[in-house]
Structure 1
Amino acid sequence: MTPVRAHPVGPIEPNAAQRAKSAYTPRGWVRRFGGLPAAAMLALGFGLPLASLIVAAFEDHGEAFAAIALDRLVRDAFVNSLALAVGAGTASLIVGALIAVTLARQTLRRRRIWLAAMGVPLAFSGLVIAYGFILAFGRSGFVTLTLASLGADPVRVGALIYTAPGLIAAYAYYLIPRVALMVYPAIANLDRRPIEAALTLGATPLRAMVDVALRELWPTLAAAWCLVTAIAMGTYGTALALAGTQINILPLLMFLKMSDGQTDFPQAAALSLVLMAVCSGVLALGECLVRRHPQ
């Protein structure tokens, strides 16, 4: 009797004919060419405008960069933008993390309601949010008039929304949901056994949270902070509607370079590239933190 040879068990590689046939199926076409529409939109919506900015910024052999580097107004705008972004990002991180902790403790039904409510600020544009804050906290806003009926000065209270703290509050309105949605999965999936072990060994709840929970959560918190800080750094519509040109920040300074008959395209393009580089650097920092410390 001829012995039967055992064949190794494993995935059977398709031959050339099968591979060629699968390439012309709908699934094969999607695998090969499904990314082309996205690549075309990226090239048209980002690549061409970026190339135009680079050409305009280096129109006079890069003199626009030297001009903005020596301009004290630009330096002040950069410092103000950085302070505003850090303040809005930090406030949003604190409140958003507390909301994420609250979400993790809710039942499934209440959690769905919370998530639906947090999606509302994300659906509004910056102008709509700014006008809403004006109607609520402006000089004739119902919150200002209510506080005035209790003895507060309506002029002083109504002017706060047009200052840097008012901008931070308006920014935080739509940045807090982003932080909560980013941090909530990490908190919901956090292993509580090390925390309970620390409590059993005599650690206080605060010490257990700092020494155990934050060691696991800080990369996610840092990434969320980097994201909302970069968004606040480049926000334009909310600042324009609330403060106009009274607050000197980079997005509004770029607006001035393109309006009021100035039309200084090289300097506006140079400012755009600088702002894009700073925001991209902050986002890259958050991405590096997440990759170096995966959960």
Structure 2
Amino acid sequence: MKQTTWKKWLITLPACLGYLLFFMLPMVFIFYEPLHAPVETFNRMISDSYLLSSISGSLILSISASFVSLIISLFIAFYLSHCTDRVRQILSIMISLPLVFSGLIVAYGFILAFGRAGFITKTLGLVGIPEASFGNLIFTPVGLGMAYCYYLIPRAVFILLPVFQSFDWQQIKVSQSFGASKLQSYRFILFPQILPAMVTSLCVMCSVALGAYGTALALSGTQLNILPLTLYSKISDGGTDFPVVGMLSIILIALCLIFTFIAETIQNRYSK
């Protein structure tokens, strides 16, 4: 018995070392700098309006992009739940393709399509839409939100789809036979059952969007005032105030953990 336990610990040793060296140790260094003098570091951070606006800008951008992605994903998941198994499998593979690409590749793809010399920009220019105005859109927060939606939608679809598939659609027909309208049936029967999955997918997407910086960096450099790009600029531009950078990192981690905790709590309650 003791020999079996020792072998199990020996097998997991490489994974434990990797977890320690590449996750726990960097986290210790991140927390050490700001928490060495937490009050002073926090006061220095909140006195900088640029840093505070980067936090609010990240929250607004991530929540807005996640909400739009959720609305689109509802229609996609609803349609997939009514498809045949073969059609659903083919469409699911196509929908999951954005998850394969890194954020940089997604950004370059959007630039090639919607940039100042992009294919779609040039095509719309032929019908009278100004190329200069439309081509600059992708480099704004709206364009960045569009790029975020590209790889947030598949995540929401695959969370919502099992709920739509397991839903008993006979409930809608029964409610309508008792005089309820189609809108009332969807509102009072379908919506309460998919609401936990909606909130879960929204929280997951917000957590992903908050920490994503590759797409934002490729599209706007450090021109947009969002938290990941602020952290990048503070480190790459020869910044020396590492305690404040560490405090911003803790805030980013805390925000992602809050959204993840909400998603896990709702998912556990719904499963029970």
Q: Structure 1 length as normaliser, TM-score?
A: 0.86
**Quick check: 1:257–1:267 contact (8 Å CA) kept in 2?**
no
* AA aligned opposite 1:211: F
Q: Which amino acid aligns with 1:52?
A: F
Q: Following superposition of structure 1 onto structure 2, how do residues 143-292 of structure 1 map, counting pairs within 5 Å?
A: 143-292=120-269
Q: What is the DSSP-based 3-state SS (H/G/I as helix, E as strand, rest coil) of the residue aligned with 1:293?
A: helix
Q: Number of aligned pairs? A: 272
Q: Structure 2 vs 1, CA of residues 62 and 44 (structure 1 numbering), >3 Å: closer, same or farther?
A: farther
Equivalent residue of 2:222, what SS?
coil
Task: Output the amino acid matched with 1:193.
Answer: Q
Alpha-carbon offset, residue 84 of structure 1? 0.1
Gaps of 5+ in 1: 1-19
Question: Quick one: distance in 2 between partners of 1:114 and 1:37?
Answer: 39
Higher Rg: 1
- The equivalent position to 1:110 in structure 2, one of 87, 93, 106, is 87
C-alpha distance in 2 between matches for 1:58 and 1:254: 17
SS at match of 2:179: coil
The Cα of 1:210 is off from its aligned counterpart by: 1.2
Q: For the residues of structure 2 that align with 1:144 and 1:89, how far apart are their CA atoms? A: 25
Q: Which residue of 2 aligns with 1:93?
A: 70
- Give per-residue Cα distances to partners, 1:231-257, cap 9 Å, x unaligned: 111110101111112210111111111
Aligned to 1:11: none
Q: How much has 1:44 moved relative to structure 2?
A: 2.5
* Identity across the alignment (%): 38
Q: For 1:208 and 1:35, how far apart are their aligned partners in 2?
A: 52
Deviation readout 1:153-179 (Å, 9 max, x if unpaired): 111000110111101100000010010
Q: CA deviation at 1:33?
A: 6.2
Residue 125 (1) aligns with residue 102 (2): yes
Of 185-194 and 83-92, the range deviating more from structure 2: 185-194
Gapped runs of 5+ residues in structure 2? none
- What is the aligned partner in structure 2 of residue 43 from structure 1? 20
Separation (CA, whole Å) in 2 of partners of 1:200 and 1:33: 63
Instruction: Give the TM-score, by structure 2 length.
Output: 0.93
What is the aligned-residue RMSD (CA, Å)? Answer: 2.0
**What is the CA–CA distance in structure 1 between the aligned matches of 2:224 and 2:15, rounded to whole Å?**
37
